[in-house]
Structure 1
């Protein structure tokens, strides 16, 4: 019944509901639950770029650039259901200026404020006359009467300096020393993390790139950047790894089962337990988390190497227990099976205790999958496998001989020499362990995307989305004033070339206090009755009526600019992501920095010192710090887990309990030593793998100790040998399948999964080698099955 429900539910999810695994790597990162404004600021910065694709098309000749850009846009323009391409027109530019022209008197740059306070009326009159008569006085935004002293034009020019992009021939233009580029801002209509959208968008972008290069007889460079490109690359990589890990593990297990039992029935039974475990895990995760992440499926593919342990344990003992029925056999095996399940779940508990949603999902997926696989073995296998239904294959015969190599050598000097060598090598390796919790080491996007991102950042002087200042206050006005205080501090860092500049809402919408001060400066210094306007009128032969007309004209542009009004205009499109608005009981904004050098981050972070409501945010450093803190915490949790497992098993194994734990503990220490000797820095995912290694390694210890108990009660030597060989066979097959699954995980291109898989690969192999030495009665036997 349960299996039927799982099949039906999964069929509904994939065929009816058509669920699509999430590919957003940020969904795996921890959230800042204690600081909503901080978390929202990061989300805001990321979301602003999520639906954008920026394309730069460049050539040495401007005409070739325009031709290539036309060919590129022609491919995409017919797909309005996928792309919204922003075009530049004269109306766009006039709409951009409109909100500011009504507020001219309140808009002054910091340099203009200083000049108004320092320069005389004669100097300002000369500025106006130069603007009126000089052919090289710069661009003019309207008539002379609209801006006689050029204060508004200067402010607009300063805003334009926030980006190197300029309008040219109806295009957005930027250049370097070699090429002239057209910038194409493209907005995606479907969600960037939709797998269906990625399957349509990426081929069209590639087709457009080919068209741009094919249509011009010149070398064309196409630089593309956008979240959808990274998401698609991660999705493709994850799909490949699901296939490699999942299919590879299945093939390996099938081969192992065939060589061990030389029959299709055991293979079918193992695949049945794995299949039900996978279906159950998927159903529960979708119900609990309302979706499934693609990385969870990648990690879940390694579940295949563990879920079959219970089936192998039963089948191996069914192979040798010819004198009892399957129900009786199950009753004998239940204590060991239950302990192995509990220990594995304790191992996955380590993942669930981290603040990373992705790891919690993986833990739940794996633990639930094991639970369903365990119940499949307990409920179905006794019904489907009866005594004398199984026969052993050649692998069982050959593998049985291996146990004799683990008998204790008679030469004790050799044993002590080997032990001292291992202790010395381990001590050396452990002393060389270094740690590195940098989150950037856990992501390896394709090289061409990294190259394009670096070129894009250099050409456009784009700010970092993960390092910025968060400004907070009780009102919009307070936030804008605090931004202005911060900008005064940042100006010093610009002059020192720590950064190249900054972006802030107050660059476009000064605080009301600043706007009032600016109006007072202009009216008191430039428009006063005996001020420079009167001198200009005298120089050009105009009367008082002319002066009054200019004052009246400028008076109509004396409105106060607000953030709300600014956001109603097209001019705000590029800066809306900097304003968070009201978050709980306060308002917040972001001041983004440009041209930041990583080595100078500590120096820049000091700019927030002593400024009320200003906080430096370094998301990379924050997450790296979380990784480091949880690496340390999980180390203590790992130690606590050993005590918990010891207490769990003590009731059954008493003075032999330590024997079930010692192989895992030794394998963990040796694995850490190997990491130290090979120069690999320790990180959270190594420790989490050691947590899981505890759960899996104890399984092998339990397998052997269970049979050690049975062997101790058997009357004949043959039965004791048979019991030990059965346990050794189950341990070997389980270890082999785990090595297959996690060995393939160690080949993952995702560094976090690779670190996890490599640790499990080494640790599992070591546990398998070590566990026979901790059997109380090690009877070396010849083959017992024919």
Structure 2
């Protein structure tokens, strides 16, 4: 510190240059919107779910939601919806638009001509039975009854399928809850059960994590919708129809809104934290120097940390948007303690350089406190949550840089005697004696409140679901509405397998389908609904060889049609395609499906991942017994991995207590070791932990009694608090180690500085309490409660314990 003071001009010039150099990359800093950053690493179910999200493109889809007015039906706007689909298809950044209806973009005939291969054993047997002379008349009579229905397309369907084979295959193609319906005969598309809303599924050319691309895509989609709306506006006016509501959801909108939220959060958290901290410092000291210069080390530490991340190409997550606010709350502790000690030395008559030279002990205390805080934050880098890892690294590195700049730049810029003498004296000569006189009452009260607040710890509830870590945006709210309106299941389980050969994987999923059977409360659908294994297809083809002659079947259908009064030639389309349906040489292949425009359909179940294939089965379990049956069915095959958001939440719930315990244990050991290195005594090392222990019991106990529900971030805030709370004990005990000052005298001098430093920390973290990002809000709440409790314990309980022992630490 003396060297920095002696070369103050050079230090300040270098600091100014570093500030300017850091601004350039900081202004270009980017925020990551990848939801995978919310997931932990190295967990079977979690890793499998990430693979599904990445490879099956669930994050890449854009949903265009069209809703008729409350007194209308979406059918009144069918031409508008069709025009929207055509307009979106014309966009350069759109590869395909799925309306859910039969259209020219897919060759459904490839599937319908092979529809018998898609049936399960019971369905295939029923399809064969309907070709027998005994069953044909009844099926044709039933077809005549269907023609009485007003639904469009029924006539064409009856001509192509008088035996009702589509009826047998449609249930297989519908899929399970949570998978969008697949129905070649659909004429309505993806329409809500109440008939008021319709969904268009748009497939862009790129994933949503490049927000520049996402903005361009959303702008193009909005422009296309505006052009179509303008075209139909006169028609709606003539027909007295109110315009429909059209909105967009999906990963691209979420990426844009998340980035906007994070930028706003980063700015607002930093601004309010800085304003609150500076205001508190000025009110305490009434010295403009602290406002104009004192926060430069914190700004430098923050700017350099963010600049390093930008230069390294790291995108900040939503969690890291609170880092600046935390650094402002944490980084000024050294400023306050050094300034108070510096003022005290000048008041004793020392020159500025001699005063700085005499600050060595305080400098060590400041350094040790910053290192312990940084160590606990950096400890988060060993967690399996990428967003927490990043938050820990940003704050930990920022703290180390801030303390370095505090001990160099701040010391170099400490003002002369005239400026310091105009500042307010923070010492409270009566504080130490007052605590000494009331030490017994303080300790009795501390014990009295610790008992009920300790019981409050048992009332804390933790919700580890990953959904609580996602930002709340309008786009995500619309996704929730779409899920509810279209009757999609929320809790979908996924069974994934990976291998170099496709056939063994398809057979494994068919075996799983057989084991699951018709388990009550369990809906499931696998790849066999669109791509049965070659083994199953071969079995079906062998049975087709024994079927009646196609001409005989067609003649029987025509005869039954004549008997029912059908016009001659009505079933000619059926006769024309019957040979293809009964062809014993037919086959379904992955390449064939993809080549006939059905790649997105089979892509819900089968994807390539480099040299491997990934195969998925979807399931929903309505009861614990159904879920248990799903686990039991998967167990015999090690190639199958059960995942999905419910499994991810279960994995989080199971692993985070272990990670928290390991993190707290490791953090506590590191903190204890660092304190012992400085104190070299067991007694003061343990005494320094008293504020931390009280902070956990009092702060978290109060939250428990208040019924606060914690998420994963707020729980890991406890680990961060280990390094923060112990600083107060270090700063109070360190000046007493040489025996020149007692705890009472030290408390009168250092206690007010601790209260101010703690107050600024509370203000810094308090800015997060009003954060719109839920995890930062809960992190701020836990931090404020624990830090406030630790601060009170440091100036009351800790000195009372030392005084009650009757000797210095």
Q: Is the TM-score greater than 0.5?
A: yes
Q: Is the 8 A contact 2:62 2:202 kept in 1?
A: yes
Residues 162-191 of structure 1, C-alpha deviation per residue, up to 9 Å, x if partnerless?
Answer: 7558799997452433x3434322344565
Aligned to 1:784: none
Q: Is the 8 A contact 2:545 2:584 kept in 1?
A: no
Residues 395-452 of structure 1, C-alpha deviation per residue, up to 9 Å, x if partnerless?
Answer: 645x73783585134584x456424422322343234344443333444634x65664
Is residue 562 of structure 1 aligned with residue 573 of structure 2? no
> How far, CA to CA, are the matches of 1:754 and 1:93 in structure 2?
50
> Could you say what secondary structure the match of 1:382 adopts?
helix
Is residue 439 of structure 1 aligned with residue 466 of structure 2? yes
The alpha-carbon distance between structure 1 residues 415 and 154, as it changes in their structure 2 partners (threshold 3 A), is closer
Is residue 510 of structure 1 aligned with residue 539 of structure 2? no
Q: What is the CA-CA distance between 1:652 and the residue it aligns to?
A: 3.4
Is residue 43 of structure 1 aligned with residue 53 of structure 2? yes
Q: What is the CA-CA distance between 1:633 and the residue it aligns to?
A: 3.5
> Could you say what secondary structure the match of 1:581 adopts?
strand
Aligned to 2:619: 593
Aligned to 1:368: 397
Is residue 771 of structure 1 aligned with residue 794 of structure 2? yes
Is residue 605 of structure 1 aligned with residue 621 of structure 2? no
Q: Is the 8 A contact 2:108 2:184 kept in 1?
A: no
What is the aligned counterpart of 2:77 among 65, 69, 72? Answer: 65
The alpha-carbon distance between structure 1 residues 760 and 94, as it changes in their structure 2 partners (threshold 3 A), is closer
What is the aligned counterpart of 2:322 among 293, 298, 309? Answer: 298
Aligned to 2:807: none
Q: What is the CA-CA distance between 1:22 and the residue it aligns to?
A: 0.9
Q: What is the CA-CA distance between 1:99 and the residue it aligns to?
A: 2.9
Aligned to 2:64: 54
Q: Is the 8 A contact 1:58 1:221 kept in 2?
A: yes
More moved, 161-170 vs 418-427: 161-170
Is residue 258 of structure 1 aligned with residue 289 of structure 2? no
Q: Is the 8 A contact 1:109 1:155 kept in 2?
A: no
Q: What is the CA-CA distance between 1:201 and the residue it aligns to?
A: 6.0
Alignment of 1:733-748 (within 5 A): 733-748=756-771
Q: Is the 8 A contact 1:105 1:522 kept in 2?
A: no
Residues 681-712 of structure 1, C-alpha deviation per residue, up to 9 Å, x if partnerless?
Answer: 455434422222221122222222233346x4
Q: What is the CA-CA distance between 1:67 and the residue it aligns to?
A: 6.5
> How far, CA to CA, are the matches of 2:90 and 2:800 in structure 1?
72
Alignment of 1:180-195 (within 5 A): 180-188=196-204, 191-195=207-211
Residues 118-171 of structure 1, C-alpha deviation per residue, up to 9 Å, x if partnerless?
Answer: 678323554786699888498577997x87866478536753677558799997
Q: What is the CA-CA distance between 1:713 and the residue it aligns to?
A: 1.9
What is the aligned counterpart of 1:28 among 11, 16, 38? Answer: 38
The alpha-carbon distance between structure 1 residues 505 and 552, as it changes in their structure 2 partners (threshold 3 A), is closer
> Could you say what secondary structure the match of 2:67 adopts?
strand
The alpha-carbon distance between structure 1 residues 11 and 123, as it changes in their structure 2 partners (threshold 3 A), is farther
The alpha-carbon distance between structure 1 residues 639 and 221, as it changes in their structure 2 partners (threshold 3 A), is same
Q: Is the 8 A contact 1:174 1:459 kept in 2?
A: no
Is residue 579 of structure 1 aligned with residue 606 of structure 2? yes
Is residue 751 of structure 1 aligned with residue 774 of structure 2? yes
Residues 88-145 of structure 1, C-alpha deviation per residue, up to 9 Å, x if partnerless?
Answer: 699944742243366466444544313257678323554786699888498577997x
> Could you say what secondary structure the match of 2:384 adopts?
coil
Aligned to 1:625: 651
> How far, CA to CA, are the matches of 2:140 and 2:79 in structure 1?
43
Residues 541-570 of structure 1, C-alpha deviation per residue, up to 9 Å, x if partnerless?
Answer: 99xxxx999987667683322113212332
> Could you say what secondary structure the match of 1:592 adopts?
strand
Is residue 657 of structure 1 aligned with residue 685 of structure 2? yes
Residues 575-608 of structure 1, C-alpha deviation per residue, up to 9 Å, x if partnerless?
Answer: 4143233577x643111236x5487763563463
Q: Is the 8 A contact 1:260 1:392 kept in 2?
A: no
Residues 255-277 of structure 1, C-alpha deviation per residue, up to 9 Å, x if partnerless?
Answer: 12323343333223333111211
Aligned to 2:9: none
The alpha-carbon distance between structure 1 residues 777 and 317, as it changes in their structure 2 partners (threshold 3 A), is farther
Q: What is the CA-CA distance between 1:739 and the residue it aligns to?
A: 0.4
TM-score if structure 2 supplies the norm length? 0.80
More moved, 402-411 vs 275-284: 402-411
The alpha-carbon distance between structure 1 residues 417 and 648, as it changes in their structure 2 partners (threshold 3 A), is closer
Is residue 155 of structure 1 aligned with residue 172 of structure 2? no
The alpha-carbon distance between structure 1 residues 552 and 266, as it changes in their structure 2 partners (threshold 3 A), is closer
More moved, 722-731 vs 161-170: 161-170
TM-score if structure 1 supplies the norm length? 0.82
Aligned to 1:115: 126
The alpha-carbon distance between structure 1 residues 573 and 410, as it changes in their structure 2 partners (threshold 3 A), is closer
Alignment of 1:97-176 (within 5 A): 97-100=108-111, 103=114, 106-115=117-126, 121-126=132-137, 136=147, 139=154, 151=165, 154-155=168-169, 158-159=172-173, 172=189, 174-176=191-193
The alpha-carbon distance between structure 1 residues 148 and 33, as it changes in their structure 2 partners (threshold 3 A), is same
Q: What is the CA-CA distance between 1:623 and the residue it aligns to?
A: 4.1
Alignment of 1:287-436 (within 5 A): 287=311, 290-322=314-346, 323-324=350-351, 325=353, 327-385=356-414, 387-388=416-417, 390-391=419-420, 396-397=425-426, 400=428, 403=431, 407-410=435-438, 412=440, 414-415=441-442, 417-436=444-463
Is residue 483 of structure 1 aligned with residue 509 of structure 2? yes
> Could you say what secondary structure the match of 1:193 adopts?
coil
Q: What is the CA-CA distance between 1:367 and the residue it aligns to?
A: 1.1
What is the aligned counterpart of 2:694 among 634, 658, 666? Answer: 666
Aligned residues: 755
The alpha-carbon distance between structure 1 residues 722 and 511, as it changes in their structure 2 partners (threshold 3 A), is same
> How far, CA to CA, are the matches of 1:295 and 1:556 in structure 2?
59
The alpha-carbon distance between structure 1 residues 552 and 299, as it changes in their structure 2 partners (threshold 3 A), is same
> How far, CA to CA, are the matches of 2:289 and 2:358 in structure 1?
19
> How far, CA to CA, are the matches of 2:227 and 2:360 in structure 1?
67
Q: What is the CA-CA distance between 1:492 and the residue it aligns to?
A: 0.9
> How far, CA to CA, are the matches of 1:599 and 1:220 in structure 2?
42
More moved, 511-520 vs 483-492: 483-492
More moved, 54-63 vs 691-700: 54-63
> Could you say what secondary structure the match of 2:607 adopts?
strand
The alpha-carbon distance between structure 1 residues 27 and 415, as it changes in their structure 2 partners (threshold 3 A), is closer
> How far, CA to CA, are the matches of 1:537 and 1:417 in structure 2?
99
Q: Is the 8 A contact 1:608 1:614 kept in 2?
A: no
> How far, CA to CA, are the matches of 1:607 and 1:628 in structure 2?
20
Q: Which runs of 5+ in 2 are unaligned?
A: 1-12, 563-567, 569-573, 804-809
> How far, CA to CA, are the matches of 1:463 and 1:161 in structure 2?
12
Q: Is the 8 A contact 2:550 2:579 kept in 1?
A: no
Q: What is the CA-CA distance between 1:722 and the residue it aligns to?
A: 7.6
The alpha-carbon distance between structure 1 residues 69 and 419, as it changes in their structure 2 partners (threshold 3 A), is same
Q: Is the 8 A contact 1:259 1:394 kept in 2?
A: no
> Could you say what secondary structure the match of 1:122 adopts?
coil
- TM-align CA RMSD: 4.4
Q: What is the CA-CA distance between 1:243 and the residue it aligns to?
A: 2.6
The alpha-carbon distance between structure 1 residues 129 and 758, as it changes in their structure 2 partners (threshold 3 A), is closer
Q: What is the CA-CA distance between 1:375 and the residue it aligns to?
A: 1.4
